[in-house]
Every structure is written in C-alpha cells, then in structure tokens.
C-alpha cells in the first residue's frame, strides 16, 4: 500500500510543480464546483427526463448517480477511511474548500464516470460532449490535491460499473422501452 501511496503523491506533486498556474487554478476550480455534489450531472439527468427520446437515459443517469453516491459515500468511504492528500501534505495551498470527508473513492469521479458511461451508451453524440467535461472534473480533483489518482480511478470505475448495471437492469426489465418508446 505504501508503494501505491508513494506513486499517488509523485503524480500529485508533479501536477503541482509542472502544471499549477493561475489560469488552471481558475479553470479547474470551475470544473470542481460544477460537479460538486453531482450538480451538473443531476441537472443533465433532470433535463433528459423532459424529452421522450432521452427519458430513459435521464432515469438511468439519476439512478446511477444515486446508487454510486450511496455505495461510494456511505459504504466505501467509511470502510476505507483514507485521509486526503491535502491533509497529509498541508504545504500545498488549496484553491478550493478543504473537503471534510474521506478521500477514497472520489465522489466527483463516481458521478462523472456514471454520467459519461450512461450518455455514451444511450446517446453517443451527447456522450462525446459529456466525456471531456467528466474527465476535466476528475482531473480537477488531482489538480486541487484533494484526491489521489487511485481515488479518482476507483471512483470513475465505480461510476461506470454502476451505470452499466443500471442500464442492464433497465433493458432486462423493459423499463428502458417504457420510458423512451421509439417514435414512428
């Protein structure tokens, strides 16, 4: 575990020493706050519910966000109790508010991974627009030194897995067809 943590810190410290600048501080802060509490993805899911062609995707997205949030935030974080990198290396100045929860897995990455997976699986054009935003949200958590790379990777994988399971259940039960019937 120590080797993984050392590699995590090496990546975070490289980002701080090579990429950190005023413009990225501003940009990455925007991406972090955009997805705070899954906000941008919740809004996307609600908007998708209003249109028959995207209603099933909206339902799948919202269900994936909820399930991922519960599993990540209320099961895994309390079990693992990983201290955030910014609480270990307090020399790094944070451009965002210091999070009070545990680090593993990244909630921003869970929701962003779920959003990208649902949209790529259901509406590829929207998915290709969502994917870069999701990746920038995930990277912002590393840039701000509030998550380790392994937190982000695990969160993204949990989000994608949650989305895949939700989509499979919706297809197997016929819920997808009921929510978004094909138009003639």
Q: What is the CA radius of gyration of the chain?
A: 17
Given this model, what pLDDT does residue 178 score?
Answer: 82
The dihedral formed by the CA atoms of 100, 105, 110 and 112, expressed in degrees to the nearest 10: 70
Q: Pick the closest to residue 134 from 23, 49, 34 (CA basis).
A: 34
Q: Is the dihedral of CA 93, 96, 102, 104 positive or negative?
A: negative
Given this model, what pLDDT does residue 184 score?
Answer: 35
Given this model, what pLDDT does residue 183 score?
Answer: 43
What residue ranges in 26-151 does DSSP mark as E strands? none
pTM: 0.93
Q: What b-and-e string marks burial along 112-143, b requiring 16 or more CB atoms within 10 Å of the CB? A: bbbbbbbbbbbbeebbeebbebbbbbbbbbbb
CATH among 3.40.50.1820, 1.10.606.20, 1.25.40.20, 3.50.50.60 for 2-177? 1.10.606.20
Q: Pick the closest to residue 5 from 184, 159, 149 (CA basis).
A: 149
Q: Over the chain (184 residues), what is each successive 10-residue block's mean pLDDT?
A: 90 95 94 93 97 94 97 97 94 88 96 98 95 97 96 98 97 85 53
What the block records as the tokens of 176 is 């997808």
Name the packing angle between helices 39-49 and 107-122 (round to 10°).
30
Q: Phi, psi (5° rounding) for residue 100?
A: -100, -15
């Amino acid at each position: 575990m120590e080797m993984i943590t050392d590699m995590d810190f090496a990546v975070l410290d490289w980002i701080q020493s090579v990429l950190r600048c005023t413009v990225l501080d501003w940009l990455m802060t925007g991406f972090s706050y955009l997805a705070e509490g899954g906000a941008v993805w919740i809004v996307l899911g609600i908007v998708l519910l209003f249109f028959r062609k995207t209603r099933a995707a909206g339902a799948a997205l919202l269900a994936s966000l909820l399930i991922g949030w519960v599993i990540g935030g209320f099961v895994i974080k309390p079990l693992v109790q990983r201290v955030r990198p910014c609480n270990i290396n307090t020399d790094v100045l944070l451009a965002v508010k210091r999070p009070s929860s545990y680090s593993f897995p990244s909630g921003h990455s869970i929701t962003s991974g779920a959003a990208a997976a649902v949209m790529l699986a259901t509406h590829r054009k929207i998915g290709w627009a969502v994917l870069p935003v999701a990746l920038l949200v995930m990277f912002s958590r590393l840039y701000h030194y509030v998550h380790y790379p392994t937190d982000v990777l695990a969160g993204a994988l949990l989000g994608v897995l949650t989305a895949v399971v939700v989509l499979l259940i919706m297809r197997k039960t016929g819920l997808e067809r009921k929510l978004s019937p094909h138009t003639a």
